[in-house]
Amino acid sequence: MRKKQLKERLETLRTQNDKRLEALRDESKADESNDPRVLLSEITEAEKEISAITEQLAAIDALEAKAQKHVESKPRAAATAHNLAEDRPWGGGGMTPLADFLCSVKLAEDRRRSGDMDPRLFQLAPQGINESVATEGGFLVPIDMENDLRERGLYTSQIAPRCARRNLTGNTIRINGINETSRVDGSRFGGVRAYWQGEAQAATATKPTFDQINLELKKLTAMVYVTEEQLQDTAFMASEVADLVPQELAFALDNAIINGTGAGQPLGILNATALASQAKESGQTATTVVFANVAKMMGRMVAGSLGNAVWLINQDVMPHLITMASAATSAAIPVFLPGGNISGAPFGTLFGRPVIPVEQCQTIGTKGDILLVDLSKYILAMKASGVDQKSSMHVRFAEGELAYRFVMRVDGQPRWRSALTPKNGSNTQSPFVSLDTRS
């Protein structure tokens, strides 16, 4: 490409000089724009540039000839990265490192064009943040504009901070507990029971049963590449990456606490056996939330968790809460009035418990679009050292890109193994309650 440009420039200069010489010979064409002194000066400057370009082209031709000679003297049938490395006789063939490097580049380019070289060896485009593509970083290079990425608002975790956190110095934690799934007589605390007893009667022996939760840290990672040019030209980029990526990790962790499968990631509330699922109302319209739904969900929340419970909702549920009413003898009574009235704060309480919109809840009408949960009953084990952040130029050194790697080691699951059968009543109770799908 460089050689072609030089030849085109050389041809242009020679054409222009020919026209200037013709103007000098034909005095009849002389005018203010063709002053002989100006023309002579332009011809002299052009001749200097022509001479310099000619020397550059001669040097390029010499290098190409040397590279071609090297290629012909070392034919290769197989086109692999290993063979390419063998074609580089560093210090052993009497060639200088620069000449050998140019020969190797020429060999690789010939193989790429012929289709013999694996195209994956030629990643010509930057893989991370760069200046070449505007939306991938080019917009951020200062050109008298505001370098601020915060106008959309940064993510603030609403879920993980409410969980029962355990900081680990190792990799695993075992938490002992009572294996209680029912509150009926003989099942409380896994088998303890008290009896009314008469004088001199023998006591009936009972005993509790125990359970153990095992949490083994899983690894949540994020990798970001940034070109050297981007870092040099955008002063705030390094700190921006260090700020934004941990927020993505926090978002992913919040999502796992609700939706995690438990395989290589925390076990989410929606996939836990402790979840109490409230059925929809008979004949209920699809993609709706009605007063009977939330009232019955409150009835499924175990009494000991009512003081800590919060409503987590997909924001599409909000219009249904705002317009929700409880039927009365004389008129419908609004159920959800944020801040005590319509003009109050946008997010208030429902049955006295905070309503928190989170993106991790499912879309309206799907199980998980509205949850009533006591997150203090969710155990979240995290590495005490927090998010591990490292950077390296070695991963993509040849491409001139700095690699930022972030690692969060974490695991979690509900402390309860199953929903609880109450002493009296048929509906199970739990610190985690959802509304079944309405479709």
Q: What DSSP character marks residue 42? A: H
Query: Of 142, 210, 140, nearest to 179 (Cα)?
Result: 210
CA distance 163 to 413: 10
Alpha helices in 28-96 (DSSP H): 36-73, 81-86
pLDDT on residue 93: 46
2-25 helix and 36-73 helix, angle to the nearest 10 degrees? 150
Of the listed ranges 151-155, 281-285, 368-372, 412-416, the one predicted with least confidence: 151-155
Contact in structure between 149 and 240 (CB atoms under 8 Å): yes
CA distance 403 to 241: 11
User: Is residue 144 very low, low, confident or very high in pLDDT (cuts 50, 70, 90)?
Assistant: very low
Across the range 10-39, mean pLDDT stands at 73
pLDDT on residue 426: 86
Contact in structure between 133 and 346 (CB atoms under 8 Å): no
Q: Give the mean pLDDT of the chain.
A: 81
Alpha-carbon dihedral sign for residues 433, 436, 437, 439: negative
Pick from 39-43, 90-94, 106-110, 350-354 the range whose average pLDDT is largest. 350-354
Rg of the chain on CA atoms, in Å: 37
Half-sphere exposure for 265 (CA within 13 Å, toward CB): 16
pLDDT on residue 137: 75
Backbone angles phi, psi at 349, to 5 degrees: -125, 155
User: Is residue 277 very low, low, confident or very high in pLDDT (cuts 50, 70, 90)?
Assistant: very high
Across the range 403-432, mean pLDDT stands at 94
pLDDT of 54-89, one tens digit each? 888 887 887 777 767 765 665 444 344 444 444 444
pLDDT on residue 398: 83
User: Is residue 121 very low, low, confident or very high in pLDDT (cuts 50, 70, 90)?
Assistant: low
For residue 74, the surrounding DSSP H or E stretch is none
pLDDT on residue 79: 41
Would you say residue 133 has pLDDT above 80? Answer: no
| Residue 267 CB coordination number (10 Å) | 21
Would you say residue 218 has pLDDT above 80? Answer: yes
pLDDT on residue 88: 41
CA distance 66 to 53: 20
Across the range 285-303, mean pLDDT stands at 95
Nearest 10 degrees: Cα torsion 356, 359, 361, 362 = 140
pLDDT on residue 6: 79
Would you say residue 120 has pLDDT above 90? Answer: no
CA distance 339 to 240: 36
CA distance 38 to 57: 29
Of the listed ranges 34-38, 104-108, 231-235, 237-241, the one predicted with least confidence: 104-108
The residue count for the chain: 439
